[in-house]
């Protein structure tokens, strides 16, 4: 039996890879740190090692050097998972029998194809179509399911939801599941029930806090006709789902309580950030955003300064634009990893920018910024494909956590 050693920062991703390997007759062992990994590597002499580049770099290189020095592991192949590596970093890995470097967020079909190729065994994966994404906005988990109900991606969705609920520390999440470009029939019954069970079990949400956005008759039949899904509500409009789970009156009241000092100048906002920053460990994302390029498109210089301050310690490269038109002048030549986009700008607004990005098939993540009075604006942005948004007034902690979600996405 083949044995794989998994040394990955994300507990959820470790568990998912272990589950899928063991289902295919491959023994999986995990390590929580490079030091533990060195010990297990020496003892187990694995057939493959999977490493997360963004763990403690010094210890990671010590593990690779130890692997190379040991006659039992010198030829053991390595697969590296990473957000973004420069040429010099790739060259640094070259002497250690690194077979693949896979970019995060991980594409599961590419990951298991790499396992099959490296181990010389067949790993069974569901090759049917299916796109599944999950994001958190205002303590609501938005889950998009498109094209089909791929079984492997349903398994992955369980771990993704768990990761998000842990990240945001949501005690009682609302869930909006959006089914799009899907036509189900009786052959999909098992996978549809698996989707429903996954959402319930992974989120621990109450059925009354779950909305399914779909017009598919078969999906509606399963939800409405099964006692175990009683309480889950099927809706046909995104506006209804959001209004149900994030009542505008509550949103407005909570946000207004945060804006009592709305006339603060830039300096006082920065000082407030310094206080909040002490409660948050920048190590969580520092490696993930290092050397990344971020665009801020907002006509409010205070918002620009606040977001820049959030990333100041990470080494990220930040470009600011006071209007959508300024950004569109460089969009064809500048390659960004993340963009913060204000919707309400006087000349070229955020929607025109989104349309331009869609026309150019530019797919880097965009976090839309909007005010508490722009609920319809946020819904329109989601319908245009935006996955994440932040409601002004912005708080440094919210910027930080949303960036963790986007930039440290493992899968």
As given in the structure block, the two tokens for residue 395 are 């708080």
pLDDT tens digits, one per residue of 283-326: 545 555 566 789 999 999 999 999 998 887 777 889 999 999 99
Residue 273: half-sphere exposure toward Cβ, Cα within 13 Å = 25
DSSP 178-202: EEES----GGGHHHHHHHHHHHHHH
Q: Angle at CA 160, nearest 5°, toward 252 and 231?
A: 60
At 392 the pLDDT is: 86
55/102: higher pLDDT:
102
Q: Angle at CA 225, nearest 5°, toward 238 and 213?
A: 10
**Nearest 5°: phi and psi at 102?**
-105, 130
At 86 the pLDDT is: 82
The confidence band for 372, taking pLDDT boundaries of 50, 70 and 90, is low
Please determine, for residue 385, whether its predicted confidence score (pLDDT) is greater than 70.
yes
Mean pLDDT for the chain overall: 86
At 259 the pLDDT is: 43
At 257 the pLDDT is: 43
Q: Long-range CB contacts (< 8 A, 24+ apart) of 267-270?
A: 269/302, 269/305, 269/306, 270/305, 270/306, 270/309
CA distance 12 to 9: 9
At 312 the pLDDT is: 78
At 260 the pLDDT is: 41
The fraction of the chain above a pLDDT of 70, given in percent, is 87
Q: What is the mean pLDDT of residues 200-222?
A: 95
Residue spans per domain, the chain: 3-119, 131-245, 263-407
Please determine, for residue 12, whether its predicted confidence score (pLDDT) is greater than 90.
no
The residue assigned the tokens 């109900």 is 149
Please determine, for residue 158, whether its predicted confidence score (pLDDT) is greater than 90.
yes
Please determine, for residue 333, whether its predicted confidence score (pLDDT) is greater than 70.
yes
At 277 the pLDDT is: 43
At 124 the pLDDT is: 86
The confidence band for 373, taking pLDDT boundaries of 50, 70 and 90, is low
pLDDT tens digits, one per residue of 217-260: 999 999 999 999 999 999 999 988 988 887 654 444 444 344 44
Say which CATH topology domain 131-245 has.
Answer: Transcription Regulator spoIIAA (3.30.750)
The domains spanning 3-119 and 263-407 adopt the same CATH topology: yes
13/246: higher pLDDT:
13
Secondary structure E strands in 83-153: 98-103, 131-137, 140-146
At 96 the pLDDT is: 97
The DSSP code for 410 is: -
| Dihedral angle of Cα 35, 36, 41, 46, to the nearest 10 degrees | -130
The confidence band for 212, taking pLDDT boundaries of 50, 70 and 90, is very high
Burial class (CB in 10 A: 0-12, 13-18, 19+), 292: buried
Closest CA to 342 of 310, 313, 302: 302
Q: What is the mean pLDDT of residues 102-110?
A: 86
Distance from the Cα of residue 314 to its chain's centroid? 19
Closest CA to 246 of 146, 56, 361, 391: 391
Which residues in 36-56 are b (16+ Cβ under 10 Å) and which e? Answer: ebbebbeebebbbbbbbbbbe
CATH 3.40.50.2300 for the 3-119 domain, yes or no = yes
409/243: higher pLDDT:
243
Q: pTM for the complete prediction?
A: 0.83
Pairing of strands 174-180, 140-146: parallel
At 384 the pLDDT is: 87
Pick the range with the lowest mean pLDDT from 63-77, 146-160, 395-409: 395-409
Say which CATH topology domain 263-407 has.
Answer: Rossmann fold (3.40.50)
Q: What is the mean pLDDT of residues 57-64?
A: 91
pLDDT tens digits, one per residue of 44-55: 999 999 999 987
At 248 the pLDDT is: 58
At 224 the pLDDT is: 94
Q: What is the mean pLDDT of residues 377-398?
A: 87
């Amino acid at each position: 039996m083949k044995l794989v050693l998994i040394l990955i920062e994300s507990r959820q991703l470790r568990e998912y890879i272990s589950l899928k390997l063991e289902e295919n007759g491959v023994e999986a062992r995990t390590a929580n740190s490079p030091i533990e990994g060195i010990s297990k590597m020496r003892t187990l002499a694995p057939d493959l090692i999977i490493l997360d580049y963004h763990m403690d770099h010094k210890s990671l290189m010590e593990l690779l050097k130890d692997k190379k020095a040991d006659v039992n592991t010198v030829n053991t192949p390595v697969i590296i998972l990473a957000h973004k590596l420069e040429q010099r970093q790739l060259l640094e890995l070259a002497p250690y029998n690194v077979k693949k470097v896979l970019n995060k967020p991980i594409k599961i079909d590419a990951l298991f194809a790499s396992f099959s190729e490296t181990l010389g065994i067949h790993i069974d994966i569901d090759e049917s179509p299916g796109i599944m994404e999950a994001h958190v906005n205002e303590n609501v988990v938005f889950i998009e399911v498109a094209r089909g109900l791929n079984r492997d991606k349903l398994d992955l969705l369980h771990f993704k939801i768990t990761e998000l609920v842990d990240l945001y520390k949501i005690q009682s999440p609302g869930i909006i599941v959006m089914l799009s470009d899907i036509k189900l029939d009786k052959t999909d019954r098992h996978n549809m029930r698996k989707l429903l069970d996954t959402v319930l079990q992974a989120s621990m949400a109450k059925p009354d806090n779950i909305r399914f956005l779909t017009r598919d008759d078969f999906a509606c039949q399963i939800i409405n006709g099964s006692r175990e899904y009683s309480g889950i509500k099927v809706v046909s409009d995104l506006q209804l789902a959001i209004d149900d789970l994030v009542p505008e009156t509550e949103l407005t009241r909570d946000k207004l309580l945060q804006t009592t000092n709305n006339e603060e100048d830039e300096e006082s906002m920065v000082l407030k950030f310094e206080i909040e920053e002490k409660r948050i460990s920048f190590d969580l994302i520092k490696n993930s955003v290092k050397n990344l390029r971020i665009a801020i498109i907002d006509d409010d210089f205070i918002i620009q300064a606040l977001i820049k301050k959030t990333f100041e310690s990470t080494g990220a490269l930040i470009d600011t634009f006071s209007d959508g038109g300024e950004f569109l002048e460089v969009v064809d030549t500048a390659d960004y990893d993340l963009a913060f986009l204000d919707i309400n700008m006087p000349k070229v607004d955020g929607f025109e920018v989104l349309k331009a990005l869609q026309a150019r098939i530019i797919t880097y993540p965009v976090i839309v910024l909007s005010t508490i009075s722009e609920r319809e604006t946020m819904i329109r942005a989601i319908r245009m494909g935006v996955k994440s948004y932040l409601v002004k007034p912005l708080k440094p902690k919210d910027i930080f956590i949303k960036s963790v979600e986007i930039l440290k996405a493992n899968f």
